[in-house]
Amino acid sequence: MGEATPPLPMPRHVAIIMDGNGRWAKSHGLPRFEGHRRGAEAVRRVVADARDLGIEALTLYSFSSENWSRPKQEIGELMGLLKRFIRSDLKDLHAKNVRLRIIGEGHPTDPEVQGLLDEAQALTRANTGVTLTVAFNYGARNEMARAAQALARQVAAGELRAEDITPARFAEALDTAGLPPLDLMIRTSGEQRLSNFLLWQAAYAELVFLPVFWPDFDRSWLERALGEYGRRERRFGGVEAGES
């Protein structure tokens, strides 16, 4: 008998740009909100699948800082969906040992949303299973600017020397401090751009773009992305011995 094929490498940290809710709804002759509602169901599936597959950290792009330019009715519907998701799913996530983290600037106008997000993080803080990080009111350029400002304040206060600001020290000032390095970035809907998501963290991540709208994303699509990741050779800017 031949030797068994070794298992493909598994990423520790996977991030997903959940794109295509509106186009999914349009393709089915449904209102945009129905696309967002079905997208929330896909979130439930992917969290469960990530936990089952042994992924250590899952980061989801739920609402960007640029999304505030959308129609007020759609924003209100999205906020209502977020509230319902937390109220209905928080106990289940906690029971399954999922740790919930929120990155971004928080909610600037709705204290109820901010209170629910804070409650969810506090309840699950000690959990040791998959870390589910939700990027809410998040933009990567803003994140890096806030990190730079925080470090500049430390320098101004004499707590830090400018020459001590290394890439590692800068990463510690980002919202994602404490998470494993980002290994795999997935974007659904067929679009092929990062849209201001985890720009620093994605420096050496593998990028996989899938031709599926987010509401239709399921375990088979996740496994397809994981398989693509496992087949790639990650060099982090280096070369193999003997290569020029």
Q: Give the model confidence (pLDDT) of 87-110 as tens digits.
A: 889 999 999 999 999 999 866 667
Report the mean per-residue pLDDT for the chain.
Answer: 91
Report the first-to-last Cα separation within the chain, whole angstroms: 38
pLDDT at 111: 83
Annotated ligand binding at 24? The verdict is yes
The least confident of 8-12, 126-130, 155-159, 176-180 is 8-12
52 counts as catalytic: no
Ramachandran bin of 178, using left for φ above 0, alpha for ψ from -120 to 50, beta for the remaining angles: left
Annotated ligand binding at 190? The verdict is no
Write down all domains in the chain, each with its CATH number in brackets. Answer: 13-140+182-231 (3.40.1180.10)
Using CB atoms within 10 Å of the CB of residue 29, give its burial: 0 to 12 exposed, 13 to 18 middle, 19+ buried: exposed
Annotated ligand binding at 22? The verdict is yes
The least confident of 2-6, 32-36, 64-68, 216-220 is 2-6
* Residues 115 and 144: beta-carbon distance below 8 Å: no
Q: Give the model confidence (pLDDT) of 135-185 as tens digits.
A: 988 999 999 999 999 999 999 999 999 999 999 999 999 999 999 999 999
* Residues 18 and 61: beta-carbon distance below 8 Å: yes
Tokens standing for 41? 């169901």
Stretch 131-138: mean pLDDT: 93
- Distant-in-sequence, close-in-space partners of 145: CB < 8 Å, separation ≥ 6: none
pLDDT at 244: 52
State the sign of the Cα–Cα–Cα–Cα dihedral 193, 219, 96, 214. Answer: positive
pLDDT at 1: 46
H-helix or E-strand containing 101?
strand 99-103
Stretch 6-34: mean pLDDT: 92
Annotated ligand binding at 70? The verdict is yes
Q: What does the alpha-carbon distance between residue 22 and residue 214 come to, in Å, rounded to a whole number?
A: 9
19 counts as catalytic: yes
pTM above 0.75, yes or no: yes
Annotated ligand binding at 2? The verdict is no
Reported confidence tier of residue 65, pLDDT bands at 50, 70, 90: confident
Catalytic residue among 49, 52, 67, 92: 67
pLDDT over threshold 90, residue 4: no
pLDDT at 42: 96
pLDDT over threshold 50, residue 22: yes
Taking alpha carbons only, the member of 213, 196, 55, 69 closest to residue 133 is 55
pLDDT at 242: 55
C-alpha 57, offset from chain centre: 9
